[in-house]
């Protein structure tokens, strides 16, 4: 999934949100009964209203997740509640802009429940396109989801309106048939040394073309900075333009540019996450930047060898996630609430972990529901979650621009 496509939309915004769930409801088509829903009365209130609405329209921005949604969520939901789900795969950036335009025009939204990139919230909420309703406080299946996945998401207070339903992790992937475990780099310095010893055998996705490269760039920056400089990388309060200016001019980032000046001279740069994996599958590269969930999909579809393994480098690499939300002008808000609630159920969370290596945001996730086969494709417990770091995609976008100016343009 190319999460960085949406990051170009992020701009300087002031996010205004009411602290009360329904102090000034942004749900255009909300009924009086729905406005009084709580976690305790959720099923009594929402199920009858959802059945009366009769259907729910769902958007999915992640192309590889189509089968997951249809088989794991939609079919069981329709069977359980008798409510039709009209499903569409969309390109996130285009669908976001369409939703914003419709919101500005005061028209009804074409979608009720939207699975979108975690970094899309600032621009959507600034345009009033995200319904001001605290799903985190209302939906029963979000009761065990920690605050960082439903209240403060990527450093932004979303007030429960944009909960993370799918967690993913950037990583280093390698073909264990080509490189023995003892030779796999353990930290960023070792990776550079390995790449210099094995030119063009390390594949890195360009940060502007795929999130595995963008995540790697952020991880390198966090590894080679300290103190106030490192803290600034994780400051989510700054605008895109402020981050752009800082990343382009800040002297404390020079070790990061020095590292990439050396690394990229011996690296095979790719134009997408899938391109990186394909290089390794074709044995043109042995190590690359990857997403954990995408790797499992490629291994199971035999687009990667069974000998493919994952690891995280010392001092950590960034993880991310994607969210569900209800647009302000949703036509079927009750059915949307019910569908999103099912997406956070233990059964579906286990299903997506089993089939897509999609990590659960639930603190009570039952890992015994995941098969030994699936666990063999995942990051080992020795590095995950201990080496998982928070992503800051707004800063990541700024770092990518600076990398292009300070390193790539000079190679």
Q: Parallel, antiparallel, or unpaired: how do β-strands 156-157 and 152-153 relate?
A: antiparallel
The mean pLDDT of 19-45, rounded to a whole number, is 77
The two tokens of residue 406 are: 């300070």
Q: Is the pLDDT of residue 52 over 50?
A: yes
| pLDDT score, position 368 | 86
pLDDT at 8: 37
User: Whole-angstrom Cα distance, residue 299 to residue 176?
Assistant: 13
Bridge partners of 318, per DSSP, are 389
Q: Is residue 4 scored above 60 in pLDDT?
A: no
CA distance 204 to 272: 9
| 294-315 mean pLDDT | 96
Per-residue pLDDT for 32 more than 60? yes
User: CB of 254 within 8 A of CB of 272?
Assistant: no
At residue 9, does pLDDT exceed 60?
no
Name the CATH topology of 34-162+322-369: D-Maltodextrin-Binding Protein; domain 2 (3.40.190)
Q: Per residue in 344-396, pLDDT tens?
A: 999 999 999 999 999 999 999 988 889 999 999 999 999 999 999 999 988 99
15 or 316, which is more confident: 316
- What is the Cα–Cα distance from 288 to 327, expressed in whole angstroms? 37
- 195: confidence class by pLDDT, cuts 50, 70, 90: very high
Domain boundary assignment for the chain: 34-162+322-369, 172-316+387-410
The confidence score (pLDDT) of residue 15 equals 31
pLDDT at position 122 is 86
Q: Whole-prediction pTM value?
A: 0.87
pLDDT digits over 54-67, tens only? 999 999 999 889 99
Give the mean model confidence (pLDDT) for residues 86-99.
96
**pLDDT (0 to 100) of residue 6:** 35
Q: Look at residues 106, 29, 93 and name the one whose alpha carbon lies nearest to residue 59.
A: 93
Both tokens of 308, joined, read: 């493919």
402 vs 118: which has the higher pLDDT: 402
| Residue 14 pLDDT > 60 | no
**Architecture of the domain defined by 172-316+387-410:** 3-Layer(aba) Sandwich (3.40)
172-316+387-410 matches 34-162+322-369 in CATH topology: yes
Per the structure block, which two tokens stand in for 155?
């450093």
**What three-state secondary structure class fits 237?**
coil
Q: What's the mean pLDDT when you consider all of the chain?
A: 92
Share of the chain above pLDDT 90, in %: 88
**Residue-wise pLDDT tens digits, 200-245:** 999 999 999 999 999 999 999 999 999 999 999 999 889 899 999 9
Counting every residue written for the chain, the total comes to 411
* Angle at CA of residue 37, ends 74 and 149, nearest 5°: 60
The DSSP code for 130 is B
């Amino acid at each position: 999934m190319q999460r960085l496509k949406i990051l170009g939309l992020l701009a300087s915004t002031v996010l205004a949100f009411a602290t009360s769930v329904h102090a000034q409801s942004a749900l255009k088509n909300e009924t009086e009964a729905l406005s009084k829903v709580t976690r305790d009365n959720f099923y009594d209130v929402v199920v009858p209203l959802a059945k009366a609405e009769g259907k729910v329209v769902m958007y999915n921005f992640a192309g590889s997740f189509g089968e997951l949604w249809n088989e794991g969520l939609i079919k069981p939901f329709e069977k359980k509640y008798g409510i039709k789900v009209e499903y569409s795969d969309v390109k996130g950036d285009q669908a976001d802009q369409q939703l914003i335009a419709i919101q500005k025009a005061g028209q009804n939204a074409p979608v009720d429940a939207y699975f979108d990139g975690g970094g899309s919230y600032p621009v959507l909420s600034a345009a009033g396109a995200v319904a001001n309703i605290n799903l985190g406080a209302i939906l029963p299946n979000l009761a065990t989801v920690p605050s960082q996945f439903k209240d403060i998401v990527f450093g932004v207070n979303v007030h429960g309106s944009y909960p993370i339903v799918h967690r993913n992790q950037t990583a280093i992937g390698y073909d264990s048939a080509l490189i023995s475990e003892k030779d796999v780099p353990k930290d960023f310095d070792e990776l550079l040394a390995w790449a210099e010893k094995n030119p063009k055998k390390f594949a890195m996705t360009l940060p502007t073309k795929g999130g595995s490269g963008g995540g790697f760039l952020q991880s390198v920056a966090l590894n080679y900075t300290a103190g106030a400089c490192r803290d600034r990388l994780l400051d989510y309060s700054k605008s895109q333009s402020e981050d752009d200016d800082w990343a382009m001019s800040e002297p404390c980032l020079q070790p990061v540019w020095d590292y990439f000046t050396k690394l990229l001279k011996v690296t095979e740069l790719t134009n997408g996450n899938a391109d990186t994996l394909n290089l390794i599958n074709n044995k043109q590269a042995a190590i690359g930047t990857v997403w954990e969930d995408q790797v499992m999909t490629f291994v199971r579809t035999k687009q990667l060898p069974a000998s493919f393994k994952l690891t995280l480098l010392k001092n950590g690499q960034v993880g991310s996630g994607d969210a569900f939300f209800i647009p302000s002008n949703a036509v079927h808000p009750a059915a949307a609430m019910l569908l999103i609630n099912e997406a956070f159920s233990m059964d579906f969370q286990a299903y997506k972990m089993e089939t897509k290596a999609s990590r659960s945001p639930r603190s009570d996730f039952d890992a015994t529901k995941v098969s030994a086969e699936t666990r063999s494709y995942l990051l080992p417990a020795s590095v995950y979650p201990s080496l998982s770091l928070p992503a800051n995609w707004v800063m990541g976008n700024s770092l990518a621009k600076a990398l292009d100016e300070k390193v790539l343009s000079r190679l």
